Amino acid sequence: MSSVIEQTRFSVLDRSRTREGHDGPEALRDTVRLAQELEALGYERFWVSEHHGVPGVAGSAPTVLAAAVAAATRTIRVGTGGVMLPNHQSLIVAEQFGVLESLFPGRIDMGLGRSVGFTDGVRKALGRDKHDAEDFAAQLSELLGWFRGTSGTGVRARPAEGLTVPPYVLAVGEGATIAADAGLPLVIGDIRGREKMLAGIERYRAGFRPSPWLAEPYVVVAGTVAVAGSEEEARRLLIPEAWSMAYSRTHGTFPPLPPAERVESLTMTEKERGFYESGLRGHVYGTEEQVADELERVIKESGAQEVLVTTSTYDREGLLDSFRRLARVAGLSPA
């Protein structure tokens, strides 16, 4: 086993993806069950995401779902990957995480992103527009101020004030610079876009300023990792998500995950085929030995302290088997 891999933390972000023939409530219950299973395997943390009005994603209220996950587990860290700060008032976000940390002390992470609603209709329903993301750095500073009691408003964020809930910045583009300026851990993807990812990490480390939250840079690299008994089996786990992404880029809506065999039987347009095949490239997948070799390269190139796995697929048992195999690759200790 690679000592580089064994010294790296491994965590999971689950998007509560819906599957064809299964509804949203079932996807949310699957998320909670998956967290329990990954806790038993020894993963570091389990995060949930925020999406609005997306047919293929059930996770729309990450702090509510994080509470359910934390209540169903005992030791694994639980958090968000992330709460999209432009969609919310910072006081409300601080209060929600303050409640979570009060109920589950020492186990809550506050992952924060800067995306706004996926479509104009969603942004209108949220009372936001795409320019709200431009204020992310100021919103982040305001949010952290509620925890430190420095809001300057005379209002106290209860029960958040005085609590320590580790904040993480999810980076796309200038997010790496914002994380560095704020002195916060950086969560950066995607592993498949290696050049862009490494450039962002370099920018983060070069500009990092120590803060009350973090003394030295901390990098989490995120991406899809699929492990199976053969390279072909691992690749099949990627097919449902690759097709959903291709469909969303050609039809404007992100659908539930289909079975791999249905995707393989489809007659795709040239445009769909191009997006689909692109969606299958660049991920870390294969046998345990192949994945170990590739992860070692990723970790050495990036210097990351942690890998956040974001894999989604239709085959839930295949997904769980992949996580079991990855736990062996990473040398995780069962809880």
CATH number at residue 320: 3.20.20.30
- 187: nearest Cα among 67, 51, 320, 11: 11
pLDDT given at position 189:
87
Q: Would you state the pLDDT for residue 137? A: 93
Give the pair of three-digit tokens for residue 8: 């790296």
Q: How far apart are CA 167 and CA 147, in angstroms?
A: 11
Could you tell me if residue 268 is inside a domain?
no
Residue ranges making up the domain that contains 40: 3-232+286-330
- Report which of 240, 263, 261 is spatially closest to residue 311, judged by C-alpha positions: 240
Distance of CA 204 to the CA centre of its chain: 19
Ranges of beta strands (E only) in the chain are 9-14, 45-48, 77-80, 83-84, 108-113, 167-171, 186-189, 219-223, 225-227, 284-286, 306-309
Instruction: Look at residue 280 and tell me if it is in a domain.
Output: no
- Residue 263: inside a domain: no
The length of the chain, given as a count of residues: 335
In-domain check, residue 248: no
Is residue 87 in a domain? yes
Q: Is 133:173 a contact under the CB 8 Å cutoff?
A: no
For residue 273, is it within any domain?
no
Residue 334, pLDDT score: 86
In a domain, residue 258? The reply is no
CA distances (Å), origin 93, targets 89, 147, 160, 324: 7, 11, 9, 34
- Whole-number pLDDT of residue 133: 60
CA distances to 76, 82, 102, 111 from 107, rounded to whole Å, are 7, 16, 10, 13
CA angle 150, 187, 180 (to 5 degrees): 50
Dist CA 114 CA 251 (whole Å) = 25
Number of domains forming the structure of the chain:
1
Per-residue pLDDT of the chain (335 residues; tens, 9 = 90+): 568 999 999 999 999 999 999 999 999 999 999 999 999 999 999 999 998 888 899 999 999 999 999 999 999 999 999 899 999 999 999 999 999 999 999 999 999 998 776 666 777 777 776 665 678 999 999 999 999 998 778 889 999 999 999 999 998 767 899 999 999 999 998 888 889 999 999 999 999 999 999 999 999 999 999 999 999 999 999 999 999 999 999 998 889 999 999 999 999 999 999 999 999 999 999 999 999 999 999 999 999 999 999 999 999 999 999 999 999 999 998 87
* 327 Cβ neighbours under 8 A, 6+ residues apart: 10, 41, 42, 43, 334
Tell me if residue 173 falls in helix, strand or coil. Answer: coil
For residue 157, is it within any domain?
yes
